[in-house]
């Protein structure tokens, strides 16, 4: 067993883990962060995407011991403390960027990372930015629309009215 200390969604945890434990399993099984989905276990689908020290990673490719001393943000930690959705979460809801919802946590986390790196992406840049995350239901059209809406909301000065 190895001891790790990780800050997850603003809370510091110190736990014993098997050295071979994947971050996705640590988050789900030891911390109860079940919004981080186990999809393929082969890093192909991206459903398990989280932010590790501010960068999107597929948590099925990271050992929990590799996250020792790091900051992890999961889909549960993306919303504000008062429950206000992150602009990307809100846009996915409003633009129907989900169907079954299985890929949604990873897709949102990848989209947040994309918008951090490129606040004004074109449609092709959005598609390229989320290409490591697979969706089997939506055809991606509404996901792309949601990311574009979130980009506009995140870059616009705060106003009292919403823009379409």
Residue 164 has pLDDT above 80, yes or no: no
| pLDDT mean over 126-153 | 93
Nearest to 22 by CA among 75, 54, 58: 58
Contact 59, 132 (CB under 8 A): no
Domain holding 53, by residue range, is 2-77
Same domain, 101 and 149: yes
Same domain, 35 and 96: no
Residue 163 lies in a domain: no
Residue 141 lies in a domain: yes
- Rounded to the nearest 5°, which phi and psi values hold at 39? -100, -80
pTM: 0.90
pLDDT digits (tens, 9 = 90+) for 58-84: 999 999 999 999 999 999 999 999 999
Same domain, 126 and 95: yes
Number of structural domains the chain divides into: 2
Residue 160 lies in a domain: no
CATH of the domain at 108: 1.10.150.120
Residue 9 has pLDDT above 80, yes or no: yes
Nearest to 25 by CA among 41, 5, 8: 41
Residue 162 lies in a domain: no
Contact 123, 144 (CB under 8 A): yes
Q: What is d(CA 42, CA 39) in angstroms, rounded to the nearest whole number?
A: 8
Residue 99 lies in a domain: yes
Instruction: Give residue 43's pLDDT.
Output: 87
């Amino acid at each position: 067993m190895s001891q790790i200390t990780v800050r997850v969604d603003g809370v510091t945890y110190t736990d014993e883990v098997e050295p071979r434990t994947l971050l996705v399993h640590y988050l789900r099984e030891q911390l109860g962060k079940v919004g981080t989905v186990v999809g393929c276990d082969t890093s192909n689908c991206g459903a398990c995407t989280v932010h590790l020290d501010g960068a999107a990673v597929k948590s099925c490719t990271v050992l929990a011991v590799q996250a020792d001393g790091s900051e992890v943000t999961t889909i549960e930690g993306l919303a504000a403390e008062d429950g206000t959705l992150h602009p990307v979460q809100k846009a996915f809801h409003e633009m129907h960027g989900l169907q079954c919802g299985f890929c949604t946590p990873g897709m949102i986390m990848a989209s947040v990372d994309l918008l951090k790196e490129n606040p004004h992406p074109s449609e092709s840049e959005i598609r390229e930015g989320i290409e490591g995350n697979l969706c089997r239901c939506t055809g991606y059209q509404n996901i792309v629309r949601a990311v574009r809406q979130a980009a506009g909301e995140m870059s616009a000065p705060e106003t009292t009215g919403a823009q379409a």
